[in-house]
Structure 1
Amino acid sequence: MASVDLRGLTKRFGSLAVVDNVSLKIDHGQLVCLLGPSGCGKTTTLRLIAGFLEPSDGEIHVGERLVSSRARTLPPEQRNMSMIFQSYALWPHMTVTENIVYGLRLRKLDRDTIAKKLAAILATTKLEVLAQRYPGELSGGQQQRVALARALIVEPETLLLDEPLSNLDANLREEMRFEIRRLHDEYRYTTVYVTHDQSEAMTTADLIAVMNGGRVDQIGTPEDIYARPESEFVARFIGASNVIKGTARDANHVTFAGATLKVVGAPLTPGQGAVVAIRQHDIGLSTQAPASTENAIKAVVTRQVYLGAARDYMVEVADGTSLRATTPTETNVPRGSEVWLTLPPERCRALSR
């Protein structure tokens, strides 16, 4: 196993930089998720790491080895990496056992060694009872486990996963997130996991690199990314925060829609524009005026949706800005009602970018 180090990695298709000067260090044994919307460059970055694409600029180092640069790109088969594709790419005419040991047979390992490794991986991935079935006889989750077993049995330095759960239904997808994390904790391969699903990233990753427009917008632990976003893009993409745009009154106060908000996060410049993020479940909503007017805003309910465990409100404040608030189901305020929003200061985060 080894670290993966991207240094100024760039990939252009014509004049378009799909991956634009990405630098990212993935330490030995870490699981890092490249997270972002379609077209942000995450899958292209993964294919550059795998060796399927050559970089237009920059370098990729795996441990002490330079595996990609403008001058030379090591082919995929010489990188000691395993990749799991969105489609699983199982051989339909081979049994589970034959699919799993295919890479070992290509490496010409002896029969006893193959048998020992197969028994261990079947037990780890809970596939013993399915060993003689064919892919067409398996569920999506079972096929996913076969793909994982085949990737892990060859003991790669690096494991690459390209949206591996996107073909599964919601319940199975949730189950497989924990399975992928369990297998990572057992084997501790250096892993790069591409997804557009923030729940997958939050569940599986040691670090999340949020990508936008070919660049890494922010990197940090799941808690860092969720609780301390640095940019408007990250705040909106992770957890769907409300983004408030006002004017800084001083280093930690913002005027917005006729109200004054005390905020935390990036220091503000008085008189300059300020951008503040607050998550919808952190906003209090009441028909009663609060005792203090600081961090309190008057609004009108424009939409209310019952979600079973909560109610989802859309409200409009004095300057026409719409905000979302999630409340317990007991808070039942009809459309058109005047309400007061309470925005806790410790949850109002000023963004640095």
Structure 2
Amino acid sequence: MASVELRDLTKRFGPVTVVDNVALRIDHGQLVCLLGPSGCGKTTTLRLIAGFLEPTSGEIHVGDRLVSSAARTLPPEQRKMSMIFQSYALWPHMTVAENITYGLRLRKMDRDTIGKKLKSILQTTKLEALAERYPGELSGGQQQRVALARALVVEPETLLLDEPLSNLDANLREEMRFEIRRLHDEYRYTTVYVTHDQSEAMTTADMIAVMNGGKIDQLGTPEDIYDRPQSEFVARFIGSSNVIKGVARDENHISFSGATLRVVGAKLAANQDAAVAIRQHDIQLSTSAPASADNTVKATVTRQVFLGANRDYVVETADGTTLRAVTSPQTAVPAGTEVWLTLPPERCRALIR
């Protein structure tokens, strides 16, 4: 296994910059997710790591080897990497066993070694009973396991996954998230996993790099990214936070819709424009004024939807700001009702704008 390091990596297609000066270190044995919306540069970054694309500038190092630069790019077959694509790319005319051992046969390993490695990986990926079937006879989840087995059996230094679960239904996606994490914990290959699905990233990753516009907007553990977003983009993309715009009174208070809110997170400067994130389920909604006016804002319900386990409200404050609040399902507050929103200060996170 080896670390992967991107140093000021940039990729342009004509006048368009797709990957913009990205710096990232992935320690060996670590699983890092590149997470972001379509067009953010995550798949291009993965293809640069794999060697399918040459960088415009910057470098990629694997361990102590320089594998990519603007002057020289090592071809994919010399990088000791395995890649799993969205389409799985299984050979339809080969059985499961033949697909899995294809890379071993290319390496001209002897029959006994291939047999031992095949038996071991079939057991690990729970494919023993399917070894003689063809891809067309398998479910989507089974095909995904075959693709994983084929990638792992050659013992790569680095494993690359390009949205590997996007073709599966919701239940299979959830199952395979945990399977990918289980296999990673067993083999501990350095892994780069591209996805637009935050649940996949939260389930599988040691670290998440949230990408936006070709740059890494924030890098951190799943807990860091979810609980401590640093930018408006990350706050909205991860967990769909409300973002409140106000004016700072001092380093940890803002004025918003006639109220003063105490906040945590980025330190503010008096009179600067400020953005504060709070998640929908952290807002407390009441039809009567609370005993304390601290971090309380008046609003009017504009929509209410029953979702079984909770109710989803859209409310509008006096300054026209629209917020969403998720509450328990017991009490329904109809549209047009005046309510009070309590925003716990420890859940109001000032963002770096």
Q: What is the TM-score of this pair, normalised by structure 1? A: 1.00
Tell me the distance in 1 between the aligned counterparts of 2:184 and 2:331: 42
Tell me the distance in 2 between the aligned counterparts of 1:309 and 1:232: 28
Aligned-pair CA distance for 1:288: 1.1
| Number of the residue aligned with 2:246 | 246
List aligned pairs for 1:152-231, cutoff 5 A: 152-231=152-231
* Structure 1 residues 93-148: Cα deviation after superposition (integer angstroms, max 9, x where no partner): 10000000000000000000000000000000000000000000000000000000
Aligned-pair CA distance for 1:317: 0.3
Tell me the distance in 1 between the aligned counterparts of 2:261 and 2:231: 19
| Number of the residue aligned with 2:19 | 19
| Number of the residue aligned with 2:142 | 142
For 1:273, the aligned partner's letter is: D
Aligned-pair CA distance for 1:163: 0.1
For 1:108, the aligned partner's letter is: K
The count of aligned residue pairs is: 353
**Structure 2 counterpart SS, 1:316:** strand
Tell me the distance in 2 between the aligned counterparts of 1:157 and 1:59: 18
| Number of the residue aligned with 1:124 | 124
| Number of the residue aligned with 2:312 | 312
For 1:17, the aligned partner's letter is: T
**Structure 2 counterpart SS, 1:45:** helix
**Structure 2 counterpart SS, 1:94:** coil
* Structure 1 residues 303-335: Cα deviation after superposition (integer angstroms, max 9, x where no partner): 111111111100000000000000011131111
For 1:251, the aligned partner's letter is: E
Tell me the distance in 2 between the aligned counterparts of 1:267 and 1:110: 63
Aligned-pair CA distance for 1:281: 0.3
Aligned-pair CA distance for 1:293: 1.2
**Structure 1 counterpart SS, 2:61:** strand
For 1:6, the aligned partner's letter is: L
For 1:345, the aligned partner's letter is: P
| Number of the residue aligned with 2:85 | 85
| Number of the residue aligned with 2:66 | 66
Aligned-pair CA distance for 1:37: 0.2
Tell me the distance in 1 between the aligned counterparts of 2:129 and 2:331: 50
CA-atom RMSD in angstroms:
0.5
For 1:327, the aligned partner's letter is: T
Deviates more, 1:64-73 or 1:292-301: 292-301
For 1:274, the aligned partner's letter is: A
**Structure 2 counterpart SS, 1:314:** strand
Tell me the distance in 2 between the aligned counterparts of 1:108 and 1:335: 71
Give structure 2 stretches of 5+ with no counterpart. Answer: none
Return structure 1 stretches of 4+ with deviation > 3 angstroms.
none
| Number of the residue aligned with 1:301 | 301
Give structure 1 stretches of 5+ with no counterpart. Answer: none
Tell me the distance in 2 between the aligned counterparts of 1:200 and 1:306: 27
| Number of the residue aligned with 2:31 | 31
Tell me the distance in 2 between the aligned counterparts of 1:173 and 1:131: 22
| Number of the residue aligned with 2:235 | 235
List aligned pairs for 1:246-265, cutoff 5 A: 246-265=246-265
Aligned-pair CA distance for 1:62: 0.1
Aligned-pair CA distance for 1:296: 0.5
**Structure 2 counterpart SS, 1:172:** helix
* Structure 1 residues 245-278: Cα deviation after superposition (integer angstroms, max 9, x where no partner): 0000111111000111000111111111111000
List aligned pairs for 1:252-291, cutoff 5 A: 252-291=252-291
Tell me the distance in 2 between the aligned counterparts of 1:348 and 1:331: 25
